[in-house]
Amino acid sequence: MIEVKNVSYTYMKKTPFEKTALQEISFNVNEGDFLAIAGHTGSGKSTLIQIIAGLIDLENGVVEIDGETIKNKTARRKIGIVFQYPEYQLFEETVEKDIAFGPRNFGLSESEISVRVNEAMKFVDLEESLKNVSPFELSGGQKRRVAIAGILALKPKYLILDEPTAGLDPKAKKNLLAEIKKLHRAGVTIIFVSHAMEDIAVLANRVIVLAQGKILFEGEPRKLFGQAEILERAGLLPPPVSQVMQKFLRAGFNVSTEIITLDEAEKELKKIFSAR
């Protein structure tokens, strides 16, 4: 379990540029969760995940990973983080060397590194023939998968994904989301940072909404999408399906605002119109 307790953070304290990024943030991430963190630019999302990953030192509050403080190296090693546009962090000559970089820094044997590279590539559907190819010759979606494979080779228990589909074309996005689902089914606890409500709707079992460094909402995604005031305050839009259902509601139809999939919407509308 990841426990975040009363975490606050301020950039450039005691200067004219002082900015509070987080204010008294508390929540838990349970093993097996697929937790989404949503919010507009400047809401504090990036600061929060960097604190959880141990990349920014705590000022106030506590972060514990399975009962150990995040300041502990063994606790930090349980967390992997994939930043937005992770392909920009690729730097090795070949795909294999890039994926192997983290495990090699951990001091693993060459045989163990080889096993981990092969497993990670297979998991994200990268062909073995790409091992000796420069990562810079790959497509955007393939580069993204190489970056994720590099984190998976570290075998994190908890994986943080920061806007993982940003900049991808629809096909590459669909493929990457399928890989993320597969990771979760394999037992990896996911923290998924995004402002794309349609992705959160179909992936997450819980969502936290941040605005101006504070938590506005924590709960099931479908409970969120009917709360227009919270979404507006956070600068977010509900998924397209939810937007359509809200239009029916405003038109006087008795429909649920907790519908998040096309199948659910179709059933709801059939029920309404068959009763007329």
> Is position 231 within any domain?
no
Spatial separation of the C-alpha atoms in residues 27 and 33, rounded to whole Å: 13
The CATH number of whichever domain residue 67 belongs to comes to 3.40.50.300
> Is position 68 within any domain?
yes
Run of H or E including 151: helix 140-152
Q: Report pLDDT for 276.
A: 58
pTM attached to this predicted model: 0.85
Spatial separation of the C-alpha atoms in residues 1 and 157, rounded to whole Å: 10
Q: Which domain holds residue 96?
A: 2-220
Could you give the C-alpha distances from 56 to 7, 11, 17, 24, 135, in angstroms and in order?
A: 12, 11, 18, 16, 29
Q: Report pLDDT for 27.
A: 97
pLDDT digits (tens, 9 = 90+) for 140-169: 888 888 988 999 999 999 999 998 888 878
Query: Which residue positions in the chain have pLDDT lower than 50?
Result: none
> Is position 233 within any domain?
no
> Is position 14 within any domain?
yes
pLDDT digits (tens, 9 = 90+) for 254-269: 777 666 667 777 777 7
> Is position 190 within any domain?
yes
Q: Report pLDDT for 238.
A: 80
The number of folded domains in the chain is 1
69 in Cβ contact with 75 (< 8 Å): yes
**Residues composing the chain:** 276
Q: Report pLDDT for 257.
A: 67
138 in Cβ contact with 146 (< 8 Å): yes
> Is position 244 within any domain?
no
> Is position 44 within any domain?
yes
Spatial separation of the C-alpha atoms in residues 5 and 175, rounded to whole Å: 35
Contacts of 156 (CB under 8 A, 6+ apart): 77, 78, 79, 80, 188
> Is position 276 within any domain?
no
Spatial separation of the C-alpha atoms in residues 236 and 245, rounded to whole Å: 17
Q: Report pLDDT for 275.
A: 59
